[in-house]
Structure 1
Amino acid sequence: MTKTAWVFPGQGSQALNMGIDLLKISSAKAKFDQAEAILGWSVSDICENDEEKLSRTAYTQPCLYVVESILADLLREKGQQPNLVAGHSLGEYIALYVAGVFDWSTGLQLVKRRAEIMDSAAGGMMAALLNFDREKLEKVISATPDVVLANDNSPAQVVISGTPEAVQTVISQVKAKRALPLKVSGAFHSHLMAAAAEEFQAILEKTDFQTAAIPVSSNVDPVPEIDANILKQRLIQQMTGSVRWREISLQLPENGIEKVVEIGPGNVLTGLIKRTASGLILENIRHAAELPE
């Protein structure tokens, strides 16, 4: 059997009409209905009709959780199972659900609160840098207060996060092929999220986590883990900690993984993995048509 990892994208991968084809599948339609009862609004309505709301953190994260988790469940119904799971930022919640750390509705309730808290954490900014001098970047970040490396995505792509002034200072001092401000409400994955993280930590601490049935590579620590307490502590650190996706990618072959399946809209993660770790079979399941027969 080919050792396989399933990976789940986070905010930024959402797209209008994502998941709408799943409504024709009765088990998936039931999950959409269940989600509406938990959220108080319709995921399918927003995914189909409201691009503006879909791009707002409070709605983006629950929509992605619902669509990605349904695709993963349909894949499991086809008899497939991963040997390892990982997710990028919000995607880590779907990974933990698939690993059996918490049930589906608990995961959605956590994501709902996380999204609301993050959506209200205004005042910072994030920017993606493409093709840059990493050594120079690390030096400038260490010399500039109020900015951090938020997402270490691949050797050639990172995201920095902090106050607008500090982010602009880094952009002006580090030559990059492209520097793109991200459409987010705050400085996610930085110390500027400390108050939001503290509020969310109280919610996480009250939530029961189970031992994972499948090892999980976490954003703040790429070493695969199944211990419930360790996975919870890693998740508590996630809102202010860096997303170490480049290291997660490098760990995949080291853990014997031969194939990676990205489950969810777009192909961001398979693209990042391709640029970081060689020799892996990469697949995408973005919608129902890409599920195996």
Structure 2
Amino acid sequence: MTVKTAWVFPGQGSQKLGMGADLLETEVGQAKFAQAAEILGWSVPETCQGDEEKLSQTLYTQPSLYVIESILVDLLRHGSQSPDLVAGHSLGEYVALYAAGVLDFTTGLKLVKRRAELMNQAAGGTMAALMGFKREDLLAKIAETPDVVLANDNSAAQVVISGTPEAVDEVLSAVKTKRSVKLKVSGAFHSHLMAPAAAEFSQILEEIEFHEAKVPVLSNVEPIPTTDSTVLKERLQKQMTGSVRWLEISLELPNQGINRVVEVGPGQVLTGLIKRTCEGLELVNISSVADLAT
């Protein structure tokens, strides 16, 4: 049987204190961390080994994940590994575009840095994760409640809603769930409340050259594989206010003949979601040099 592999990249929420420490032992890691420090003005390794509260701040989380996941991509390539398709969850989509050759490392990091700054400034909203619910009840309540949206459609049994605190509370009080939890975020990410930040970021994106992708990319806002640079830019411009349609991305993997999924980055969030959505896929997690060796 032909093995077709997808690389998937986690986003904010997957960060872990101590992540990427062993990447400093590699030449690729040392070079990329040095490049990142020049762009960011701070050290990714020091931040990741330092204070958990600081690492969980959007300003530091997003660039740190981008840098670490990009180094892992480089190390996989050095080991003669390559994907047949890529996708990333929210921030992870930027690493997917790097892995597909759409953006170079420094361009991607500069975008992620500005994205993190704009998202960090977008105060006033909130997000909540819901587990175990009747989808039709949830969607109906969201439809009738102003200022709240389905932000992350992660799996049949797990979603994230985003909006004003009042609107999110109204949905949580009306919809029966097995569990719900407010997320520690600075704003209502992936909702219309991010429109001012998204408008500013869109102007920045307009000036960036996107290259044709070397492998198809499944975008968050439109999980239809493409290598077209213009389409990929248009989709990324919608990402800050659009929903992360991860359930659809997961379902599309077997449709594209994918039978092996490699989650590149800390944690096992995405492979966990894919496992609950699709049967029969080989799932692999790469978060360290040791994982690469095996």
Same fold by TM (over 0.5)? yes
Amino acid at match of 2:38: A
The 8 Å contact of residues 95 and 216 in structure 1, kept in 2 or not, is answered as yes
Distance 1:173 1:234 in 2: 33
Distance 1:90 1:102 in 2: 14
The 8 Å contact of residues 259 and 282 in structure 2, kept in 1 or not, is answered as yes
The 8 Å contact of residues 10 and 89 in structure 1, kept in 2 or not, is answered as yes
In the alignment, structure 1 residue 110 sits paired with structure 2 residue 111: yes
Amino acid at match of 1:17: G
Q: What does the per-residue CA deviation read over 1:38-83, in whole Å, with 9 as the maximum and x for residues that have no partner?
A: 1000001100012111100011000000000101110110000000
TM-score, structure 2 as length reference: 0.99
Shift in Å, 1:118? 0.3
Q: What does the per-residue CA deviation read over 1:202-235, in whole Å, with 9 as the maximum and x for residues that have no partner?
A: 1001000000001000000111110000000000
- Determine the structure 2 residue equivalent to 1:174: 175
In the alignment, structure 1 residue 197 sits paired with structure 2 residue 201: no
The 8 Å contact of residues 75 and 292 in structure 1, kept in 2 or not, is answered as no
- Determine the structure 2 residue equivalent to 1:21: 22
- What aligned pairs does 1:9-158 form with structure 2 within 5 A after superposition? 9-158=10-159
Distance 2:187 2:84 in 1: 34
The 8 Å contact of residues 28 and 74 in structure 2, kept in 1 or not, is answered as no
Shift in Å, 1:292? 3.2
Distance 1:88 1:27 in 2: 24
Distance 2:27 2:87 in 1: 27
In the alignment, structure 1 residue 275 sits paired with structure 2 residue 276: yes
Distance 1:65 1:56 in 2: 14
Amino acid at match of 1:288: V
Question: Which secondary structure state, in structure 2, belongs to the residue aligned with residue 80 of structure 1?
Answer: coil
Question: Which secondary structure state, in structure 2, belongs to the residue aligned with residue 159 of structure 1?
Answer: strand
In the alignment, structure 1 residue 240 sits paired with structure 2 residue 261: no
Distance 2:289 2:130 in 1: 33
Distance 1:74 1:27 in 2: 7
Question: Which secondary structure state, in structure 2, belongs to the residue aligned with residue 16 of structure 1?
Answer: coil
Question: Which secondary structure state, in structure 2, belongs to the residue aligned with residue 271 of structure 1?
Answer: helix
Aligned length: 293
- Determine the structure 2 residue equivalent to 1:257: 258
- Runs of at least 5 residues in structure 1 that lack an aligned partner in the other structure: none
Amino acid at match of 2:69: E
TM-score, structure 1 as length reference: 0.99
Structure 1 segments, 4+ long, off by >6 Å, are none
Distance 1:32 1:20 in 2: 11
The 8 Å contact of residues 78 and 292 in structure 1, kept in 2 or not, is answered as no
Output the aligned Cα RMSD: 0.6
Question: Which secondary structure state, in structure 1, belongs to the residue aligned with residue 37 of structure 2?
Answer: helix
Q: What does the per-residue CA deviation read over 1:129-156, in whole Å, with 9 as the maximum and x for residues that have no partner?
A: 0010000000000000000000000000
Question: Which secondary structure state, in structure 2, belongs to the residue aligned with residue 188 of structure 1?
Answer: coil
In the alignment, structure 1 residue 183 sits paired with structure 2 residue 184: yes
- The percent of aligned pairs where both chains have the same amino acid is 67
Question: Which secondary structure state, in structure 2, belongs to the residue aligned with residue 85 of structure 1?
Answer: strand
In the alignment, structure 1 residue 286 sits paired with structure 2 residue 293: no
Distance 1:123 1:112 in 2: 21
Shift in Å, 1:180? 0.5
- Runs of at least 5 residues in structure 2 that lack an aligned partner in the other structure: none
Question: Which secondary structure state, in structure 2, belongs to the residue aligned with residue 275 of structure 1?
Answer: helix
Shift in Å, 1:89? 0.1
